[in-house]
Structure 1
Amino acid sequence: MPLKALADPRVRGEFLDRHDRLGLKSKRSADHAFSVLALILAGACDRGKIPSNPCERPGRRYRGSRADIVWTEARSSPS
């Protein structure tokens, strides 16, 4: 994608649509890929290469907790 295209307000929707499509296979991987893209674009924005970061604050697709695995009665008692 050319850098000039990043100035178009519709590009954020395109990136979010891609994030959703990636999330169909793996929500966690989609979040990771989008975070990396957001960091790259943040660097470009900081250096004045692009006017704004269309990927900032995207939200998360993956919600998980491992509390039920870690904090069980069997695991908390001394061996």
Structure 2
Amino acid sequence: MGNQQVWFETKDSAILHSYFHSWSCFKDYPRMTDRYTYGRYEIKAVREDDGEWRCSEIHLVIAGQLGCGGLYGQQFDRPWPPDPSYGFEK
């Protein structure tokens, strides 16, 4: 994971973005080739009454995969660059 960003909506509410690259290996290689997945996490965090920050929503946005016979997932109608409030209820 990398390129973490935090956008504070209020003093008790924030949206976090983090990009990731995942490499999966399988027991039956070479019949099942390694798989590479790319995407980002979008997390809404809130500060609760005890002062601790906790995740209230987590979204996983898959940009694509290699090694699985084609593109596995695509996200459509998403703003770029990311809008920190997109997909989260206000």
Same fold (TM over 0.5): no
**TM-score normalised over the length of structure 1:** 0.24
Which of the pair is proportionally richer in strand? 2
Q: Which structure would you say has the larger Rg?
A: 1
**TM-score normalised over the length of structure 2:** 0.22
- Higher RCO, 1 vs 2 (CA within 8 Å, ≥6 residues apart): 1
Which of the pair is proportionally richer in helix? 1
